[in-house]
Amino acid sequence: MSEPTKPPASAPAPKPAGGGGGFKGPKPGDRGHKRSWKNLLINKRYQLQFTLFMVGLSTLLMAGLGIWVMKVANETTTVSMASVRGTPCPKVPALVESSGQDEDVLPVPMKLPDDTGSAAPSDTPPAAPAASIDPPAPTPPAAGSGSAAPEAPRERATVVMDESSMTMLPSVIKVPEDFGAKVVGHWTCELRLGSEINALERGRLLILYVLIATGLLLVVGLAFYGIKMTHKVAGPLFKVSLYLGKMQQGRFDKVWNLRKGDQLVDFYEHFKNAHAGVVKMEKEDVVKLKAVIAAAEQAGAGNHATIVELRDIVARKEKAIE
Amino acid sequence: MSDPTAATGVPGGNAKPAPRPRYKRKLSNYLLDKKLQLRYVLLVTILSGVIAGALGYMIYQQKRLASESIEKDLASLTQADSSQEDFQEHVASGLESEDRALVYKMAGVGVGLVVILSLYLLIMTHKVAGPLYKVSMYFDRMAVGRLGVVTPLREGDMLQDFYLNFKDMHDAVRARAQADASALEKALEALRDSKNQADYRGEARAKMDEALDELDKHLIERKKQLA
């Protein structure tokens, strides 16, 4: 840490007040020291104690109230989500399978293939039963047969599928006229609700992130501000401590003013008065001793051992208040 | 306020110095350095108030939003049934009173926080302002040349290191002044003896007498200051 009581090489020399026209130079007794971030922590114990107190307190406050905020935010989000989920959407109409017995659906007759294998449909209703036993048709005699009296053919039952009287009705799905509009309405509503739920969740997360960001910003900002603020108190104390050290060694140098923005200005004035008081004591001693020395010299006792000793004291005191 | 730097010893006597009264902290003395202390107190209090107020507002807003949502849902559920109107109103007023209670609760917490913080900071800054005040009193005494005994700080005071620096300086200046006074006293005696033995001329003798008398007075005064 640089010693503030030693003038830096680049420090401007103190100028008399009011000099330099419009230029606002340092007042007499001012030093050209500027604040440096390296010297911010002068009195670690004092500065950190105050800063950590403020930072810790703010963190506790933010954490406590933040948890409260998040609790309420979660509750609200849950309630709002439940509300959104409970919002009724227009339903998609169910598709009803029709058996074909409705008026507008004509039954489709089942057509079976005829003997030739064709299955030409016929609109004629069945006149005969589906299967009947017809009398046996005369069978042509077999070629090459030598028998004159043909053998009576064996009667066999013949099933003739003439035309089916059964009608096979295909299942027909009845589509209402506003089906499309209702489906669109339903899914639009569902998507809107979904997006509302997502927005609610996003809002909840936003609150959380804002809280965390604010907390971090506050802690960092407060730490910096706290150190800077306490520096304005610790700075004058450090400066006074340096002067106290010099005074302890018997050096009563000129006391410079505080920097602009420093606190403890009143306290520093008390110190300056004390310093001036001690300097005045030394000066009074010097005046009295010089008077004695002068009187002794006039009396021809200038070389007296006591006078020599007094001269040493005077020299020491004069050097101290230079 | 009582002077915390009150002298402990009885000047010019061999009697034992009276025990120094123990200065206790008084409520009325807590605001020693208004500018310094109130700056801290106000900063932390305002900051806490802003944080508590902003987060409290967020809490209230969220709670109110939830209540409004419930009220809205309830209204849509019961709008078809007029017999449920009373129930709806009852629930709505219940939610409203809950919200109001939350505001009161938060306001209470905020005010309590600010009061506790202010008191705590007042005490904490007093522990800094106290030593500064005490040192200032000693500085005022030094300004008029009085270099009495420096008494230690109270337990729990801050800036102990700074105060030790001050005490060391004060003790050194006092010791040096005492040594000088002693040396001057001896010199005075020696010069008076030599004056009696030497054959000083009339005018010189008168001047020497005058100077020695002045020095004698000065030493008496200085001894008083150092007592």
Q: How far apart are CA A82 and CA B134, in angstroms?
A: 66
| pLDDT exceeds cutoff 50 at A148 | no
Residues 198-257 of A with CB under 8 A from B: 207, 211, 218, 222, 229, 233, 237, 240-241, 244-245, 247-250
Residues 160-199 of B with CB under 8 A from A: 161-162, 165-166, 168-169, 172-173, 176-177, 180, 183-184, 186-187, 190-191, 194-195, 198
| A62 closest CB neighbour out of B51, B72, B124 | B51
Closest by CA to B124, choosing from A139, A120, A17, A53, is A53
Q: Which pair of tokens denotes residue B124?
A: 């904490």
Record: contact B208-A299, CB cut-off 8 A: yes
| A57 closest CB neighbour out of B44, B141, B143 | B44
Region class of A24: left (phi > 0), else alpha (psi between -120 and 50), else beta: beta
Q: Which pair of tokens denotes residue A103?
A: 């008026």
**For the packed helices B160-197 and B202-226, what is the interaxial angle rounded to 10 degrees?**
150
Which positions of chain B have pLDDT values less than 70?
1-28, 195-202
| pLDDT exceeds cutoff 50 at A204 | yes
Residues 122-161 of B with CB under 8 A from A: 124, 128, 132, 135-136, 138-145, 158-159, 161
Residues 21-40 of B with CB under 8 A from A: 33, 35-36, 39-40
pLDDT band at residue A222 using 50, 70 and 90 as cut-offs: confident
- Helix, strand, or coil (residue A109): strand
Compute the mean pLDDT over every residue in chain A, rounded to the nearest whole number: 74
pLDDT at B4: 52
Record: contact A270-B136, CB cut-off 8 A: yes
pLDDT at A165: 62
Q: Radius of gyration over alpha carbons of chain A, in Å?
A: 58
Phi, psi for residue A174 in degrees, rounded to 5: -90, 120
| pLDDT exceeds cutoff 80 at A191 | yes
Encode pLDDT of A13-70 as tens digits.
Answer: 333 333 333 444 555 566 656 666 667 777 787 788 888 887 888 788 888 888 888 8
Q: Mutate which of A44, A45, A69 to disrupt the B interface (most B C-beta within 10 Å)?
A: A69
Query: Which residues have a Cβ under 8 Å from the Cβ of A107 and sit 6 or more positions away?
Result: A100, A101, A167, A169
DSSP 8-state secondary structure symbol assigned to residue B154: P
Element (H, E) at A173: strand A172-174
Encode pLDDT of B3-22 as tens digits.
Answer: 555 444 334 444 444 455 55
pLDDT at A121: 45
Q: Mutate which of A81, A258, A288, A303 to disrupt the B interface (most B C-beta within 10 Å)?
A: A288
Q: How far apart are CA A250 and CA B176, in angstroms?
A: 8
CA distance A80 to chain B (A): 6
Query: Comparing A249 with B74, which gets the higher pLDDT?
Result: A249
**The one-letter amino acid at A146:** G
Chain A CB within 8 Å of residue B212 CB: yes
Chain A CB within 8 Å of residue B75 CB: no
- Closest residue of B to A46, CA-based? B159
ipTM score of complex: 0.73
Query: Comparing A91 with B205, which gets the higher pLDDT?
Result: A91
Q: What average pLDDT does the segment A105-113 reach?
A: 54
Other CB atoms closer than 10 Å to residue B91's CB: what's the count?
17
Query: Comparing B65 with A113, which gets the higher pLDDT?
Result: B65
Record: contact A76-B204, CB cut-off 8 A: no
Q: How far apart are CA B217 and CA B209, in angstroms?
A: 12
Chain B CB within 8 Å of residue A164 CB: no
